[in-house]
């Protein structure tokens, strides 16, 4: 390690103090003073970090900054870097096992410590993965490929296309039995919805998976999620794009969702993904896959088919959540910047304020498609019920029915990739293409809107 690397990113009095004590990054240290007591691994720092802080990785997996104080006492307890370097296992191909392709896009899953930030870095080979999660070797032959390395907040429609093409290539050219896509959880549902529209007549499952806690944290969900997703890809009969993530806080099982109906609903919980307004398709507990009865026909595996890639997207779509006091400039800006479509998450059954009607009219007369959804997330648009809604129908706003605002955004981008004809767009938006549209809340009052059921209320009044 060069002298520079030993204290990477540290400067000023902190650097001086660490040098005096001959402490280097990756040392496990204890910082104490009258009021402070911290123990953890000294992490390297980045250009973005505030100066004058020690950065420590605590044993609970979190990184913290401890502000420099002259009277801090610092001791070295050990050295830790080696923990994040996995030994590599020899991988043996077994022709009796299904072949699964695992595509990496960045994100928290199957990651190791990012030396730059103390955050996590996606990097996986089959050997690394089989070493870290030995259960995977029992399930399948695994091939891995990093398609790109992104923070998932940097995903774009262009990246959806690249990923869709890669999935089609793996299925049609490499003849795999299933594809698993490791993806950051933040925008996983958007990407999944995009893939579900792009990949027609899928012969095998394509399963999105991710992790809410990185694999260097004791509470990580990455191994269990990966085991579940790879089992679904290798063994299930559902030849659709799916999203498989933890189903409960104790993480005993995973849910199998349709991405167009799913939304990330908690910033940090492992069971963050919820199918909105319906039920997940099924669940998976280790290798046991249970399919719930649904009103939708699932598409079954059929390896003789080829997937048809339909990857046209128009990225010039905006998504707007309505709020009281919203001004016309929000719509006018999209007209001026040559957007081709706008999704509005309206209030209630899909309403907007009076002052947005003129700009919406103008947008539609400029051939911009406007799709209305409900910001309540649960429920349906009902533009025929009130006067305002009927006025919106009358000016040509397209009702999004049960579509989540986020799914409507992805779908409108895809639809606009195929046509700019407003009546054709209207038709396609209402058509169920990949399970994203449903007619009614089939399991009314259950899972759809759980907190209100009697058994919850009984408990509520007791605790």
CB nearer to its own copies: pick between 290 and 365 = 290
Question: 3-state DSSP call for residue 415?
Answer: helix
Find the shortest distance in angstroms from Cβ 194 to its own copies: 9
CB under 8 A: which stretch of 15-23, 44-52, 221-229, 424-432 binds its own copies? 44-52
Residue 305 tokens, joined: 């088919």
Residue numbers 245-264 binding its own copies by CB under 8 A = 247-250, 253, 263-264
Nearest distance from C-beta of residue 50 to its own copies, angstroms: 7
* Contact partners, residue 23, CB within 8 Å, separation at least 6: 29, 42, 74, 76
Total of chain residues touching its own copies, rule CB under 8 A: 110
Q: Which of 6, 24, 57, 264 is catalytic?
A: 264
- 3 state SS of 214: coil
Residue 449 contacts residue 274 (beta carbons within 8 Å): no
**Maximum alpha-carbon separation in the chain:** 76
β-strand 111-113 against 53-57: which pairing, if any?
Answer: unpaired
Binding flag, residue 396, its own copies (CB under 8 A): no
Residues 114-173 binding its own copies (CB under 8 A) are 114, 116-117, 119, 151-157, 159-160
The CB-of-248 to its own copies minimum distance in angstroms stands at 5
Q: Which two tokens stand for residue 48?
A: 């973005």
Residue with structure tokens 């339909």? Answer: 310
Tell me the three state secondary structure of residue 271.
coil
Residues numbered 188 to 217 that lie near its own copies (CB under 8 A) are 190-191
Among positions 401-430, residues that touch its own copies (CB under 8 A) are 405-406, 409, 413
Concerning whether 290 is annotated as a catalytic residue, the answer is no
User: Minimum CB separation from its own copies for residue 336, in Å?
Assistant: 8
Find, among 227, 218, 292, the residue nearest to 257 by Cα.
Answer: 292
Q: 185, 191, 193, 373: which is the annotated catalytic residue?
A: 185
* 136, 202, 345, 372: which one binds its own copies (CB under 8 A): 345
- Could you tell me which of 159, 145, 207, 204 has the C-alpha nearest to residue 180? 207
Applying CB under 8 A, the span of 71-79, 166-174, 182-190, 364-372 interacting with its own copies comes to: 182-190
Nearest to 240 by CA among 191, 283, 203: 203
By the rule CB under 8 A, 11 interacts with its own copies? no
Asked if 63 is part of the footprint of its own copies (rule: CB under 8 A), the reply reads yes
186, 216, 311, 314: the active-site residue: 186
Site string for its own copies, 268-307 (x = CB under 8 A): xx-xx-x----x---x------x-x---------------
452 touching its own copies, by CB under 8 A: yes
46 given a catalytic annotation: no
Question: Binder to its own copies among 142, 317, 403, 437 (CB under 8 A)?
Answer: 317
Active site residue 108: yes
The three-class DSSP label of residue 93 is coil
Q: Give the separation between CA 411 and CA 339, rounded to whole angstroms.
A: 15
Report the DSSP pairing between strands 282-285 and 288-291: antiparallel
CB of 126 to its own copies, least distance (A): 27
Smallest gap, in angstroms, from Cβ of residue 446 to its own copies? Answer: 7
Taking alpha carbons only, the member of 372, 369, 360, 319 closest to residue 340 is: 369
* 50 part of the interface to its own copies, by CB under 8 A: yes
Per CB under 8 A, the list member of 28, 291, 306, 382 interacting with its own copies is 382
Tell whether residue 243 is a contact of its own copies (CB under 8 A).
Answer: no
Active site residue 185: yes
Q: Does 222 bind its own copies (CB under 8 A)?
A: no
The 67-86 contact track toward its own copies, x by CB under 8 A, reads --------------------
Neighbours of 94 (CB within 10 A): 12
CA 410 – CA 427 distance, rounded (Å): 16
Is the separation of the CB atoms in 105 and 181 below 8 Å? yes
Do the Cβ atoms of 7 and 19 come closer than 8 Å? yes
Q: What is the DSSP letter of 306?
A: -
Which residues participate in catalysis according to the annotation? Answer: 108, 185-186, 264
């Amino acid at each position: 390690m060069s002298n520079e690397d030993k204290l990477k990113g540290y400067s000023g009095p902190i650097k001086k103090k660490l040098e005096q004590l001959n402490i280097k990054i990756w040392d496990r240290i204890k910082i104490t003073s009258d009021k402070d007591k911290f123990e953890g691994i000294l992490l390297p720092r980045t250009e973005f970090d505030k100066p004058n802080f020690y950065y420590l990785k605590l044993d609970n997996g979190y990184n913290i900054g401890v502000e420099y104080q002259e009277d801090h006492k610092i001791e070295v307890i050990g050295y830790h870097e080696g923990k994040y370097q996995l030994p590599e296992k020899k991988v043996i191909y077994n022709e009796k096992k299904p072949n699964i392709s695992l595509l990496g896009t960045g994100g928290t899953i199957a990651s190791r410590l990012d030396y730059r930030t103390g955050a996590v870095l996606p990097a996986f080979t089959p050997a690394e993965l089989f070493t870290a999660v030995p259960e995977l070797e029992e399930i399948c032959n695994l091939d891995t490929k990093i398609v790109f390395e992104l923070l998932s907040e940097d995903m774009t429609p262009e990246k959806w296309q690249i990923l869709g093409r890669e999935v089609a290539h793996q299925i049609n050219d490499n003849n795999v039995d299933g594809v698993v896509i490791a993806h950051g959880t933040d925008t996983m549902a958007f990407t999944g919805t995009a893939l579900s529209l792009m990949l027609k007549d899928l012969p095998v499952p394509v399963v999105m998976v991710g992790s809410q806690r990185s694999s260097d944290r004791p509470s990580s969900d990455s191994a269990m999620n990966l085991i579940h997703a790879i089992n679904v890809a290798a063994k299930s009969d559902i030849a659709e794009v799916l999203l498989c993530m933890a189903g409960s806080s104790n993480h005993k099982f995973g849910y199998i969702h349709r991405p167009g109906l799913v939304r990330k609903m908690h910033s940090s919980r492992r069971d963050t993904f919820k199918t909105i307004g319906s039920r997940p398709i099924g669940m998976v507990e280790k290798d046991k896959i249970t399919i719930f009865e649904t009103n939708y026909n699932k598409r079954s595996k059929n390896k003789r088919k080829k997937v048809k890639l339909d990857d046209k997207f128009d990225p010039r779509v905006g998504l707007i959540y309505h709020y009281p006091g919203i001004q016309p400039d929000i719509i006018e800006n999209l007209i001026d910047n040559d957007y081709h479509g706008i999704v509005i998450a309206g209030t209630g059954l899909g309403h907007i304020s009076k002052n947005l009607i003129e700009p919406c009219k103008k947008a539609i007369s400029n051939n911009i498609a406007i799709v209305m959804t409900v910001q309540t997330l649960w429920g349906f648009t009902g533009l025929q019920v009130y006067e305002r809604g009927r006025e919106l129908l009358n000016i040509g706003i397209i009702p999004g029915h049960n579509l989540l605002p986020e799914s409507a955004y992805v779908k409108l981008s895809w639809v606009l990739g195929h046509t700019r004809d407003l009546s054709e767009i209207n038709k396609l938006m209402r058509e169920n293409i990949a399970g994203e549209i449903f007619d009614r809340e089939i399991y009314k009052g259950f899972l759809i809107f759980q907190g209100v059921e009697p058994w919850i209320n009984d408990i509520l009044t007791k605790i």
